[in-house]
Amino acid sequence: MQEFILFVVGVIVSAFGTTVGFGGGVFLVPILIIFFGYNIEIAIGSTMSAMMPGAIIASLFNFRDRSIDYLVGTLIQLPAMIGTVLGAFLVAFLPVQELQMVFALFVVGIGVMMLLPKKKEEPKHAGMMYRIRRVPTTFIRKNRAKKIAYRLNGGVVSIFGFISGTVAGLFGIGGGFLQTPMMIKLFRMPAQIATSTSLFILVVTSFTGFISHFLLGNVLWSRSLPLMLAFAVGSLIGNLLKKRTPRGKKLEILIALGLLLAGIGVTLNLMLKSNGGFSF
């Protein structure tokens, strides 16, 4: 019975994570520890294993849908890998638990701001980010399949990729739930392109995390395989839901709800760390 409940939970987490572009790891780890009694290291290894097939399946759908921006994904992923190493190094020198609580409140705040109705629509050709996107290393991305175009600055995208990676390494969490709203709000990428690109980035990060935890002995196939199957099924369902999910504002609302849940997940992670163990 417990295995069936775990499978259903995995499907739900994966479907929601695929829809909003987070993957689902920040939600699943505390669920495995609190409700299913997993050791925290095994919970992390099982989650990394589960996210890998889910991200691959989602990216195959998005590849066919031509909604992935591979250049932006690369500009974020490569600096993020460097930032992750730096963040892990800074753990020994910074008050991580205090910073993590502030960060959790910050994530919740972003989610609340995304949910609040705007009093006045921001002009498309004004503001600091508009000016930044027009300095050197700025380029226009065109998605002919979707008939959309948006302006980006390669240097700024890389810097934010580095920041998200540093945060991930410092707090021991995935950066997907930061990268998706960042692409939408700061770079004004269409929500569909942002979520698809975030899941493409997750293919690399989840595979790297899976290999690392496998070598550490944190991947128990008896626990990982059911979750891998659940996330694969959830990814299929999530991609079907994405086709029925209205674009634009309503998708942003789902992402905002995901941020609120992620903030709760980070807080739970902090509570678990205070009792000993690793972060996720």
Question: What pLDDT is stored for residue 60 in this prediction?
Answer: 95
pLDDT value of position 125: 54
| Residue 279 banded pLDDT, cuts 50, 70, 90 | very low
Using an 8 Å Cβ cutoff, are 231 and 56 in contact? no
How many helices (H) and strands (E) in the chain?
A: 11, 2
> With helix as H, strand as E and coil as C, how does 138-164 read?
EEEEEECCCCEEEEEEHHHHHHHHHHH
Q: Are 254 and 19 in contact (CB under 8 A)?
A: yes
Q: What's the pLDDT tens digit per position in 87-138?
A: 767 767 777 667 777 777 877 887 887 777 765 555 555 555 555 555 666 7
Q: Domains of the chain: which residue ranges?
A: 2-274
DSSP-derived secondary structure for 221-247: HHHHHHHHHHHHHHHHHHHHHHHHSPS
Sign of the CA dihedral running 126, 127, 131, 132: negative
- What pLDDT score was predicted for residue 72? 93
- Measured in residues, the chain has a length of 280
Please write the tens of the pLDDT for every residue from 35-80.
888 887 888 889 889 999 999 999 999 999 999 999 999 999 999 8
pLDDT in tens, 190-239: 888 999 999 999 898 888 888 888 888 989 998 899 999 999 999 999 98
